[in-house]
């Protein structure tokens, strides 16, 4: 099966600095891939290139088999993207924001209402649906932003720290939702939480200093961790064993 998310030789330079250096990977339907790495590893820059927010200095991105540079509108229509920080319009309510996002994707009338109801129910937005986004907590804003990414029911999802700010119950609920969504979809999740290797991911990518240093099944990474300590293995992979 052709991958729904594909990066080939992605490179991004900021002046003399290579924030991302020749990164290649693919995510197929049914996979939930965790992208790990320390701060400054290049994870968010990679995700911004996948989401069309940042042009690569070199390399290619394909979504659903379509080249983002050659066919940006058609390719990006296949992607649901949750950016870092979950930015929202503070004066809008979640109801109004979801209506706006639905219209932007051509979902009007009954189709738009069905899509809004589906994501509102999945992410438990009923209690906050008419409150201004600027008054919401960090975790509530995260849920609303994720609802916007899920609303058009895209075949590919790129999520930057989707569980950031959520309480333990909300994290468990979100992970269950992503597992439910996985069949027929490719999901790439950037995270600092090593527990998501065990609780969510089917495969793991690890970046360090702008490069991809690991691409392996999650089960293999768990098996390779000494005495089950993923934090020790993570340090070995990203710091060369330094504390």
pLDDT tens per residue across span 67-108? 999 999 999 999 999 988 778 999 999 999 999 999 999 999
CA–CA distance, 81 with 67 (Å, rounded to integer) = 17
CA–CA distance, 155 with 105 (Å, rounded to integer) = 14
Confidence of residue 243 (pLDDT cuts 50, 70, 90): very low
Domain spans of the chain? 1-78+156-243, 90-153
Confidence of residue 240 (pLDDT cuts 50, 70, 90): low
Assign domain 1-78+156-243 to its CATH superfamily: P-loop containing nucleotide triphosphate hydrolases (3.40.50.300)
Run of H or E including 53 = none
Report in angstroms the alpha-carbon separations of 63 from 27, 50, 72, 75, 185: 10, 8, 10, 5, 12
**CB burial class (10 A; 0-12, 13-18, 19+) of residue 239?**
exposed
CA–CA distance, 83 with 90 (Å, rounded to integer) = 16
Whole-prediction pTM value?
0.90
């Amino acid at each position: 099966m052709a991958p729904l998310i594909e990066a080939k030789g992605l490179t991004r330079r900021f002046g003399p600095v290579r924030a991302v250096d020749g990164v290649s990977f693919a995510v197929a339907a049914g996979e939930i891939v965790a992208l790990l790495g320390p701060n400054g590893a290049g994870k968010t820059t990679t995700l911004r290139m996948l989401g069309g927010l940042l042009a690569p200095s070199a390399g290619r991105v394909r979504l659903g088999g379509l080249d983002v540079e050659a066919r940006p509108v058609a390719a990006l229509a296949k992607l649901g993207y949750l950016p870092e920080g979950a930015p929202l319009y503070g004066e809008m309510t979640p109801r109004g924001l979801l209506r706006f996002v639905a219209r932007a994707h051509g979902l009007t009338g009954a189709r738009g209402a069905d899509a809004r109801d589906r994501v509102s129910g999945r992410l438990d937005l009923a209690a906050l649906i008419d409150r201004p986004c600027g008054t919401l907590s960090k975790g509530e804003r995260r849920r609303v932003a994720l609802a916007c990414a899920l609303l058009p029911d895209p075949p590919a999802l790129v999520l930057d720290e989707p569980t950031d700010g959520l309480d333990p119950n909300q994290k468990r609920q979100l992970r269950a939702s992503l597992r439910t969504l996985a069949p027929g979809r490719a999901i790439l999740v950037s995270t600092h939480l090593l527990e998501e290797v065990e609780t969510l991911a089917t495969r793991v990518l690890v970046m360090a200093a702008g490069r991809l240093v690991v691409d392996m099944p999650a089960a293999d990474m768990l098996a390779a961790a000494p005495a089950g300590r993923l934090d020790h293995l993570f340090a070995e992979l990203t710091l060369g064993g330094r504390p």
